[in-house]
């Protein structure tokens, strides 16, 4: 008799476990999507769904599958159940091309008092994947005029000519606002190295380099956005009053034609296009 009762208990337990896994996902598992933002999971016949509160933030993770490796992309937030469904929200919306896996841990959910075993969801965003390589940025002789970018691992580094991307630029962090201080010419100087050069002049201070996503192709994958900070003292000299200055408002109205820095200093503080570059102009004291 005990054997019969035990057997019935095991059968009932297996039925509960199967029902706990009987969910519908939107978008469908193994779908091709444009972006990873929100994912809905519905247990159509469920009466009660509970979510483990300690796992709501950080318990679920999204990874991009890069060859044999998986690289962490973002944490996934899970709110409480709404009736018979829950919603997973990417903490950072993902639009980069690639193959993604979302891993849900054991006992994240309890459906009608039955714990749900760990499961994964798989999605693909079409297009050229973004590289997971590391970008190392260094100055040449402590000068912002020549900047070297080395990529690892990388066998072939190319400029991406198929995508219109904003050129790399330097932001000067000193003062009331940041402004674009210079654009750079980018050349490939090795199998895994690029060199950025500019003729612009810089005051000393703190700077940040931005290289937009997709500037390079790294082994046929798009480069990610690159951001590096510099604290440079006495880099070059500021322009002197003999240099011609042409200034436009951000709406394209010319304000100064072949002027000097003295003319520049008479402007109200603000953002202007100075000699083709966006700058924050402040009055010298």
Give CA–CA dist 167/107, Å, rounded. Answer: 48
For residue 8, what pLDDT is reported?
45
Q: Is the Cβ–Cβ distance between 180 and 212 less than 8 Å? A: no
15 falls within a domain: no
Backbone angles phi, psi at 4, to 5 degrees: -65, -45
Mean pLDDT check: name the lowest of 9-13, 145-149, 167-171, 237-241.
Answer: 237-241
268 falls within a domain: no
Residues 138 and 234 grouped into a single domain: yes
For residue 29, what pLDDT is reported?
95
Q: What is the mean pLDDT of the chain?
A: 80
Q: Is the pLDDT of residue 9 over 70?
A: no
83 falls within a domain: yes
Torsion of CA 282, 178, 146, 217, to 10 degrees: -150
Count of structural domains within the chain: 2
Q: Where residue 89 sits, what CATH number does that domain have?
A: 2.60.40.1220
For residue 207, what pLDDT is reported?
83
Mean pLDDT check: name the lowest of 18-22, 75-79, 118-122, 229-233.
Answer: 18-22
Residues 103 and 154 grouped into a single domain: no
For residue 178, what pLDDT is reported?
53
Residues 164 and 189 grouped into a single domain: yes
213 falls within a domain: yes
Residues 106 and 158 grouped into a single domain: no
280 falls within a domain: no
Mean pLDDT check: name the lowest of 25-39, 54-68, 169-183.
Answer: 169-183
Q: Is the Cβ–Cβ distance between 72 and 124 less than 8 Å? A: no
Give CA–CA dist 169/182, Å, rounded. Answer: 6
Residue 166's domain comprises 134-238
263 falls within a domain: no
Residue 19 banded pLDDT, cuts 50, 70, 90:
very low
Q: Which of the pair, 180 or 176, is modelled with greater confidence? A: 180
pLDDT in tens, 56-97: 988 999 999 987 888 898 999 998 998 899 999 998 888 888
Q: Is the pLDDT of residue 101 over 90?
A: yes
Q: Is the pLDDT of residue 187 over 80?
A: yes
Nearest to 224 by CA among 153, 131, 100: 131
65 falls within a domain: yes
Residues 67 and 160 grouped into a single domain: no
For residue 231, what pLDDT is reported?
78
Give CA–CA dist 273/275, Å, rounded. Answer: 6
Q: What share of the chain has pLDDT > 90, as a percent?
A: 39
Residues 183 and 111 grouped into a single domain: no
pLDDT in tens, 121-172: 999 999 888 888 899 999 888 888 899 999 999 999 999 987 777 788 887 7
Q: Which of the pair, 14 or 275, is modelled with greater confidence? A: 275
């Amino acid at each position: 008799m005990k054997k019969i009762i035990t057997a019935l208990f095991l059968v009932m337990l297996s039925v509960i476990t199967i029902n706990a896994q009987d969910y519908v996902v939107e978008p469908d598992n193994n779908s091709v999507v444009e972006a990873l933002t929100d994912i809905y999971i519905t247990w159509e016949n469920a009466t009660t769904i509970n979510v483990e509160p300690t796992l709501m933030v950080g318990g679920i993770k999204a990874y991009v599958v890069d060859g044999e490796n998986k690289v962490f992309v973002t944490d996934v937030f899970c709110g409480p159940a709404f009736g018979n469904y829950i919603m997973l929200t990417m903490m950072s919306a993902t639009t980069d091309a690639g193959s993604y896996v979302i891993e849900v841990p054991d006992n994240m959910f309890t459906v009608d008092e039955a714990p749900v075993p760990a499961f994964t969801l798989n999605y693909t965003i079409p297009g050229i994947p973004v590289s997971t390589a590391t970008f190392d940025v260094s100055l040449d002789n402590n000068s912002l005029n020549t900047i070297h970018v080395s990529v690892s691992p990388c066998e072939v580094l190319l400029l991406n000519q198929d995508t219109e991307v904003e050129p790399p630029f330097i932001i000067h962090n000193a003062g009331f606002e940041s402004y674009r201080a210079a654009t750079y010419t980018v050349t490939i100087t090795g199998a895994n190295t690029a060199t950025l050069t500019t003729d612009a002049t810089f005051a000393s201070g703190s700077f940040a380099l931005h290289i937009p996503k997709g500037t390079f192709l790294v082994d046929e994958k798009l480069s990610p956005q690159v951001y590096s900070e510099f604290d440079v003292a006495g880099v070059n000299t500021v322009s002197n009053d003999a240099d011609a200055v042409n200034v436009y408002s951000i709406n394209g109205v010319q304000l100064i034609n072949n002027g000097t820095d003295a003319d520049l200093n008479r402007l109200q503080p603000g953002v202007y296009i100075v000699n083709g570059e966006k700058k924050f102009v402040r009055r010298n004291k």
